[in-house]
Amino acid sequence: MSHSSTMDEAELSQEGLNGLVKDWSTDKQTYHVPWGKAMMWIFLVSDTFIFSCFLVGYMTVRVSTTDPWPLATEVFALSFFGSDPIPLILIALMTFVLITSSGTMALAVNYGYRRDRKKTVLLMIATAALGATFVGMQAFEWSKLIGYGVRPWGNPWGAPQFGSVFYMVTGFHGLHVSAGVIYLLVVARKVWRGDYEKKGYEIVEITGLYWHFVDLVWVFIFAFFYLL
């Protein structure tokens, strides 16, 4: 602390609950992170509430509807070259792709802090490419379901809410992934140009926070929508 005259140093090193409050409420800043990072964390908590509301809504309509709920293992099955349909194979692939993209993102953050711009940019582009692959596979899945006659207002197998929730939740998540791909590419371009040489590479981590969040949300959607 450069201006200790304004704060009592002894006050800051108290123990117990009072010390906890004092540590949290020091002057200047509460968390020793850049503004953008603090803001991203708060935004993500807010976004968590959005997805939670979607999922709670999904659970409620699934319970409240009187028609039978279609079986996920049968609806989301795919056959290759005339084989028997393999349940959830596409979703498994999609999930694998998205989780892998989290790995490349984490590496990009690491290389960003090491100021290895080339590797950072390459890994961010790889992350964006994996994200775009995910969205592409999702579009394929949508087209499949639309081909089977699944619509937001009804489907051939049972409760109309199946289609409504499916398109709404995966669509909203897909929009998040698409936005993330654009965000990644914009930041990657700026990293390439060297815009952050002075400011530091926290921005890569901030982008990464968003990306990991989108992945984490997918895990919940995967579990609640496809597995249950």
Residues of this chain that bind another protein (CB under 8 A): 2-3, 5-8, 21-22, 24-35, 38-39, 42-43, 45-47, 49-50, 52-54, 56-57, 60-61, 64-67, 113, 152-153, 159-161, 163-164, 168, 172, 200, 202
Distance separating alpha carbons of residues 127 and 191, to the nearest angstrom: 15
Distance separating alpha carbons of residues 226 and 209, to the nearest angstrom: 25
Shortest approach of another protein to residue 7 CB, angstroms?
6
Answer whether 51's CB lies under 8 Å from 225's CB.
Answer: no
Answer whether 112's CB lies under 8 Å from 191's CB.
Answer: yes
Which is nearer to another protein, 131 or 163 (by Cβ)?
A: 163
Distance separating alpha carbons of residues 157 and 65, to the nearest angstrom: 13
Which is nearer to another protein, 54 or 225 (by Cβ)?
A: 54
Answer whether 222's CB lies under 8 Å from 178's CB.
Answer: no
Distances (CA, A) of 135 to 11, 12, 32: 52, 49, 35
Shortest approach of another protein to residue 102 CB, angstroms?
23
Which is nearer to another protein, 61 or 185 (by Cβ)?
A: 61
Shortest approach of another protein to residue 70 CB, angstroms?
13
Which is nearer to another protein, 57 or 87 (by Cβ)?
A: 57
Which is nearer to another protein, 32 or 147 (by Cβ)?
A: 32
Shortest approach of another protein to residue 142 CB, angstroms?
14
Which alpha helices (H) appear in 86-195, and where do they start and end? 89-113, 117-148, 161-193
Which is nearer to another protein, 126 or 217 (by Cβ)?
A: 217
Shortest approach of another protein to residue 12 CB, angstroms?
9
Closest to 120 measured CA to CA, from 112, 130, 128, 129: 112
Distance separating alpha carbons of residues 97 and 127, to the nearest angstrom: 10
Shortest approach of another protein to residue 36 CB, angstroms?
8
Rg (CA), the chain: 23
